[in-house]
A and B are shown apart, each in its own frame.
Chain A
Amino acid sequence: MILERFNDAAKRGVYSLQEFFVLAGKALGFIFVKPFYASDLFQQMDSIGVGSLGIVLLTGFFTGMVLALQSSVQLQTFGASDYIGRLIAGSMIRELGPVLAGLMVAGRVGSGIAAQLGSMRVTEQIDALNTLGTDPIKKLVTPRVLAALVMLPVLTIINDFIGILGGNVIARFYLGKPSALYWKTVFEQMLAGGFTLHYIPNDFIQGLIKPFVFGGIISLVACYYGLKTTGGTEGVGISTTRTVVTASILILVVDYFLTQILLSIFQQ
């Protein structure tokens, strides 16, 4: 009896996973198939990218500040507080920038996408698209995934910069370190990790592969749950919650494995 139930649950799990990857494959495949819904893409880039700017600026700035504050205590015990710029640049660019931007966008954009597609599903608008001869994946999912893939790295760059700036504020006005010294150590850190193709700092590559992957995770998870919504408005709520929870957990888990892989490649 218990075994049977476990068996059913496992089957459902595998089936959902298969559905998810079929959706992902189609969404990405449609990037190269006409017609291309360019206006939908720009609209999504605006809503995902420009729309998330505010929260990304806020979280980035305060994270940079709190990071500087906390680490200054540690660094002072070793007499190494001059190197605070290195520490902040390293952690913001490689780790905190991508993950924080990812989590914020998962909360803000992921929930929005799931709610919108979910309502479209329960009000039969998805069926209407199908009936009018449009593939809903091409019209709705592809532009959102593409927009997230492009905009999340952009948001991360902004987040990194504003976080380092937050660190600068604390270093200058709380710890009394000159800004020139702070930025000098920041650049030292950026260049310390070595280069790819002679010019591109490895830290940048690490820091930009992550948000690219996170963008895919957020948009696909949101579209998957949104399109799968059943059961009226209550269903929309469930889909939204599932999206935020699943996307956030996936970001943190994938981040760990991605870091392992990237470190093994770049940290020789």
Chain B
Amino acid sequence: MTDEDDRRKQKEERRHPSEKDDTAMPRRAHDSSRVRAAIRTELEEVAEEAPGSQTATRPVPKVISVENVSLSFDEPVLENISFTARAGETIVVVGESGTGKSTILKLLLRLLIPDQGRVAIDGEDITHLTFDDALKVRQKMGMVFQGAALFDSMTVYENVAYPLREHTDLQEDEIEARVREKLEFVDLEPHKVMDQLPSELSGGMKKRVGIARGLANNPEIMLYDEPTSGLDPLTTATITYLILKLQRELGVTSIVVSHDIRSSFRMGSKIALLANKRIGFFGTPEEMTGSDDPYIREFLGGF
């Protein structure tokens, strides 16, 4: 049995029985209160299940490992940061604004190179890769940017098709099928949005197209930069639900950078709290809420 088969099997086993029920969640999360209620129950269910279902007893391969990484621009930004993400886990990096949360994503994508330490993806050290090799590693990852970062000169269709055109030899009809599939996955109606330009979309829709584009190449890792910032509570819930759906249906490993502690607890299997350039806490949401550390208590505040 190959490694990949092994990993897929492990993902299957780690799924919660309720997750197999696809009908629990309506396809499109648009209007009705029924949908809202469904999202709410779904979120709560998963929040309860998350820690137990993620930390499987058998060893799951490390997909991302960050070891003793330090980085400084004019001033030190990160000092001696270490954490790992195993296959299928969702790590949420929380912390105050300006503590270098997004920098961690850039390190994983090798848009930045650490001054010290190493970053490994699938066991491969990416710190010293050449530019071309780094482009290849990035294909394993889908990134959702804070402002979605859709190419505004291209239609929604071209945006989602972009990574496919760039890296695969798919025929046009295959590309179209894939684009439709991904747009449907993020609960958008392909025939309505495909020909629209990003400037014609609402904030929440842009984020979803951003997720669809990140997903297009079927990456094993998804990175999210503040996926819920600047969205209303309902859209926030929908996006949170989408991230959970991705984690469960596709088994992707995710790193989410967020300052929205409520949704972080819902989607994170582990939380990394970034404070004073270091990781002040790394553990499950339960461990975090149970902590006596004064800074953590203050950070959680009224939660």
Q: Are A127 and B111 in contact (CB under 8 A)?
A: yes
Partner of B145, one of A127, A133, A134, A135: A127
Fill in one digit per residue for B158-172: 1 if any A CB lies within 8 Å of its CB, else 0.
Answer: 000011001100000
| CB neighbors of A among B136-162 (8 A) | 136, 138-139, 141, 143, 145-147, 149-152, 162
CA distance A108 to B153 in the complex (A): 19
Q: How far is the CB of B147 from chain A (nearest CB, A)?
A: 6
Q: How far is the CB of A115 from chain B (nearest CB, A)?
A: 13
CA distance A129 to B151 in the complex (A): 9
Q: Are B141 and A131 in contact (CB under 8 A)?
A: yes
Contact residues in A for B166 (Cβ distance below 8 Å):
132-134
Q: Are B139 and A128 in contact (CB under 8 A)?
A: no
In this complex, the member of A127, A129, A133, A135 whose beta carbon has the largest number of chain B beta carbons within 10 angstroms is: A133
At the interface, yes or no: A8 with Cβ under 8 Å from chain B? no
Q: Are B145 and A132 in contact (CB under 8 A)?
A: no
| CB neighbors of B among A116-156 (8 A) | 123-125, 127-135
CA distance A135 to B138 in the complex (A): 12
Q: A123-B149, A125-B149, A127-B149 are in contact. Are A133 and B163 (CB under 8 A)?
A: yes
| CB neighbors of B among A41-77 (8 A) | none
Q: Are B151 and A131 in contact (CB under 8 A)?
A: no
Q: How far is the CB of B25 from chain A (nearest CB, A)?
A: 29
Q: Which residue of A lies closest to B163 (CB)?
A: A132
B residues apposed to A, CB below 8 Å: 106, 109, 111, 131, 135-136, 138-139, 141, 143, 145-147, 149-152, 162-163, 166-167, 213
Fill in one digit per residue for A83-123: 1 if any B CB lies within 8 Å of its CB, else 0.
Answer: 00000000000000000000000000000000000000001
Contact residues in B for A124 (Cβ distance below 8 Å):
145-147, 149
Per DSSP, chain B at the interface is: mixed
CA distance A128 to B210 in the complex (A): 10
Q: Are A133 and B131 in contact (CB under 8 A)?
A: no
Contact residues in A for B152 (Cβ distance below 8 Å):
123, 125
Knowing that A131-B141, A134-B135 are A-B contacts, what are 4 other residue pairs whose CB atoms are under 8 Å apart, sorted by A's residue number? A125-B149, A127-B111, A128-B150, A130-B109
CA distance A124 to B224 in the complex (A): 13
CA distance A135 to B130 in the complex (A): 13
Contact residues in B for A133 (Cβ distance below 8 Å):
135-136, 138-139, 163, 166-167
CA distance A125 to B163 in the complex (A): 14
Contact residues in A for B143 (Cβ distance below 8 Å):
127-128, 131
Q: How far is the CB of A147 from chain B (nearest CB, A)?
A: 15
CA distance A131 to B216 in the complex (A): 13
Contact residues in B for A130 (Cβ distance below 8 Å):
109, 111, 135, 138
Q: Which residue of B lies closest to A35 (CB)?
A: B166
CA distance A132 to B144 in the complex (A): 11
CA distance A134 to B163 in the complex (A): 9
In this complex, the member of A123, A128, A131, A133 whose beta carbon has the largest number of chain B beta carbons within 10 angstroms is: A131
Q: How far is the CB of A124 from chain B (nearest CB, A)?
A: 4
In this complex, the member of B145, B149, B213 whose beta carbon has the largest number of chain A beta carbons within 10 angstroms is: B149
Contact residues in A for B136 (Cβ distance below 8 Å):
133
Q: Which residue of A lies closest to B140 (CB)?
A: A133
- The 8 tightest CB contacts between A and B, nearest first, are A124-B149, A128-B149, A131-B143, A133-B135, A124-B145, A132-B163, A133-B139, A125-B149
Q: How far is the CB of A102 from chain B (nearest CB, A)?
A: 26
